[in-house]
C-alpha cells in the first residue's frame, strides 16, 4: 500500500487513527518498560509505603513501597503478552477448523459446527475458571486456556467467509484447474478472508486482556510479586479507603487499553466492510 493511500485511510477513519495511536503507545511502553520505568518494579522500600502520587512517584507506591508506575509498565507487558499469544492460539485453531468446515461442507461442516455450538453453550469465563482451578496459576497456563476457549467465533467467521467466497468466479476457476484443497485454501480463500479475521484478532486482544485482568484480580492469574494490572487492582481493593491510586491507575490502564483495541478493530471493520460504516 502506498503512503498516500495509507494517509487517506487514516484520514477517513478517526476511530482507526485514535485506536492505532493508543495501541501503539501502549505497545511501545510495554516493549521499553525496562528503560522507561524509573524504579525496579519488585524493589521493596518500607520507608515509602503507600505514598500518594508525587513528582518522585508519579502514580504513588503500594503497601510494600513499590513504585506503582513502574509496576504498571511491566504489567502492560504481561497483559499484552497474554493477549497476543492467546489470540494467536485462538486464530490458529479457528482458522484451521473454519477453513475445513467452509471448504468441504457437508458432514464435515456439520460435525465441526456442532462441536463449535456445544462449546459456545458454556459461559467462556466460567469455563476458564473451571480449567484454571485444576491447573497451577501461571502466565503460560492463562495464555493457553484463554486461546483454547476463544476459537469458536473465529471458526464461525472463517466458515462464513469461505462459504461466500467459494461461489465466486475466481474460486470456481481455481477449482477447475484441479488444485489441491490446501492450495485452494492457502492461495485463494484465506487471503480474501483476511480482513474480517484481522478485525476479529484485534478485538480478541481486548477481550483477552480483560479476561487475564479478571483472573489475576481473583487470584487465579499472574501471581505476586509479578506485576499484573489485575493483581494490582486486588491490592487496591484491599486499600481503597486509604490509597485510591492503587485502584485508579491500573483500572485506567485496562480501560484505555481495551478502548484502544476496540476502536482500532471498529476502524478496521469500517475499512474492510464499508457497508457497516454507512449504517
pLDDT score of 274: 56
At 236 the pLDDT is: 87
Check pLDDT > 70 for residue 242: yes
Burial of 53 (0-12, 13-18, 19+ CB in 10 A): middle
Q: What is the pLDDT of residues 115-170, one digit of tens each?
A: 998 888 877 778 787 777 777 777 888 888 889 888 999 999 999 888 888 777 77
The pairs formed by 101-110 with CB atoms below 8 angstroms and a separation of 24 or more are 101/155, 101/159, 101/162, 102/158, 102/159, 102/160, 102/161, 102/162, 102/163, 102/166, 102/189, 103/162, 103/166, 103/181, 103/184, 103/185, 103/189, 104/181, 105/163, 109/159
* pTM, rounded to two decimals: 0.85
pLDDT of 8 reads 52
pLDDT value, residue 28 = 94
Matching residue, cell 502492560: 76
Q: What is the mean pLDDT of the chain?
A: 85
- What per-residue confidence (pLDDT) applies to 73? 94
What domains appear along the chain, each with residue ranges and CATH number?
30-278 (1.10.3720.10)
Residue among 158, 248, 163 nearest 197 (CA): 158
Reported as a single tens digit per residue, the pLDDT across 33-73 is 999 999 998 888 888 888 899 999 899 999 888 999 999 99
Picking from 41-55, 75-89, 179-193, which range would have the lowest pLDDT averaged per residue? 179-193
Separation of first and last alpha carbons in the chain: 27
Amino acid at each position: 500500500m502506498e503512503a498516500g493511500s495509507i494517509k487517506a485511510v487514516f484520514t477517513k477513519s478517526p476511530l482507526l487513527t485514535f485506536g492505532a495511536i493508543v495501541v501503539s503507545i501502549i505497545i511501545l511502553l510495554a516493549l521499553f518498560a525496562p528503560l522507561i520505568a524509573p524504579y525496579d518494579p519488585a524493589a521493596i522500600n518500607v520507608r515509602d509505603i503507600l505514598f500518594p502520587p508525587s513528582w518522585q512517584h508519579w502514580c504513588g507506591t503500594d503497601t510494600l513501597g513499590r513504585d506503582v508506575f513502574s509496576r504498571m509498565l511491566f504489567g502492560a507487558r504481561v497483559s499484552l503478552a497474554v493477549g497476543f499469544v492467546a489470540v494467536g492460539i485462538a486464530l490458529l485453531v479457528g482458522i484451521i477448523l473454519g477453513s475445513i468446515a467452509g471448504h468441504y461442507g457437508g458432514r464435515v461442516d456439520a460435525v465441526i459446527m456442532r462441536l463449535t455450538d456445544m462449546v459456545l453453550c458454556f459461559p467462556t469465563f466460567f469455563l476458564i475458571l473451571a480449567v484454571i482451578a485444576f491447573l497451577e496459576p501461571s502466565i503460560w497456563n492463562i495464555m493457553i486456556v484463554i486461546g483454547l476457549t476463544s476459537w469458536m467465533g473465529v471458526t464461525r467467521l472463517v466458515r462464513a467467509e469461505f462459504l461466500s467466497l467459494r461461489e465466486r468466479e475466481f474460486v470456481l476457476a481455481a477449482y477447475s484447474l484441479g488444485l489441491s484443497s490446501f492450495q485452494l485454501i492457502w492461495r485463494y480463500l484465506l487471503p480474501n478472508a483476511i480482513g474480517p479475521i484481522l478485525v476479529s484478532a484485534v478485538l480478541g486482544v481486548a477481550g483477552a486482556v480483560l479476561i487475564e485482568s479478571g483472573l489475576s484480580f481473583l487470584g487465579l492469574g499472574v501471581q505476586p510479586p509479578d506485576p499484573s494490572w489485575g493483581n494490582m487492582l486486588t491490592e487496591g481493593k484491599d486499600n481503597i479507603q486509604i490509597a485510591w491510586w492503587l485502584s485508579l491507575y491500573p483500572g485506567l490502564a485496562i480501560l484505555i487499553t481495551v478502548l484502544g483495541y476496540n476502536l482500532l478493530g471498529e476502524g478496521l471493520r469500517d475499512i474492510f466492510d464499508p457497508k457497516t460504516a454507512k449504517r
